Structure 1
Amino acid sequence: MPVLEANSATLQSALEGESPVIIQFWAEWCAPCRAMIPIVDQFAAERGASVTVARVDVDANPDLSLKYRVTAVPTFAIAQGDTMLSSFSGAMPLHAFAERVDKALS
């Protein structure tokens, strides 16, 4: 499943689904954020059947940055419905990203 380029409405719709949602908060000007895009895209391609992956541009969606208390980018939030399961920040290789997600979902 491809990554959802999310705004408030589309993210809310994704959170109302049955799958957990991994939210990537990023900004175009952020080099580590851009470095994580292909990693998150690969993760979504491999695991998209069991999770929804959404990407939120913090500059275009400041309301979501406030709601999820994003103070640095890249930040990743893992949520299911209205429940925040985990969040973490920083660039990392695919295996480390997958481990963090798996830990949050276990």
Structure 2
Amino acid sequence: MENKTSFQDLIAGTTPVLVDFYADWCAPCRMMQPVLQDLAEKMGEQVKIVKINVDKNPSAAAAYGVRGIPTFVLFKEGKIINRKSGYMPLPEVENFVKGGL
């Protein structure tokens, strides 16, 4: 994330954006990496996936009330559609995102 404006532009579109708030030292966050890769392959252009490292972007985490990681926030047209924290298997993440389509 280069600056707040580019993040706002990113989440403003009609395509749902799944934002993954994570940290490199977080084991459940690392477990989510292959799940998110599978999700990207499965859903393609239906969703954008953005990863935000909370250690490098504490203001972004604070702005969206992220208290634990991983936290997933689903945006559509700049609005929060859904949010959830913790590890999720692929079917659960897929349902989470499809709820915002």
Fold-level similarity (TM above 0.5) = yes
1:24-103 map, 5 Å: 24-103=20-99
Q: Give the AA of the match of 1:66.
A: A
How many residue pairs get matched? 100
Q: Does the residue aligned with 2:55 lie in a helix, a strand or coil? A: coil
| Residue deviations 1:41-87 (CA, integer Å, cap 9, x gap) | 11012213111110100001111101111000000000113311010
Shift of 1:9: 4.5
Contact 1:14 1:52 survives alignment (8 Å): no
Q: Does the residue aligned with 2:45 lie in a helix, a strand or coil? A: coil
Contact 1:23 1:77 survives alignment (8 Å): yes
Query: Structure 2 stretches of 5 or more lacking a match?
Result: none
Task: Provide the rounded CA distance (Å) in 1 between the counterparts of 2:88 and 2:13.
Answer: 28
- Give the equivalent residue in structure 2 for 1:14: 10
- Give the equivalent residue in structure 2 for 1:3: none
Q: Give the AA of the match of 1:85.
A: I
Contact 2:13 2:78 survives alignment (8 Å): no
Shift of 1:25: 0.5
Report the RMSD for the aligned CA atoms in angstroms: 1.5
Task: Provide the rounded CA distance (Å) in 2 between the counterparts of 1:9 and 1:74.
Answer: 23
Query: Structure 1 stretches of 5 or more lacking a match?
Result: 1-5
Q: Does the residue aligned with 2:66 lie in a helix, a strand or coil? A: coil
Identity %: 32
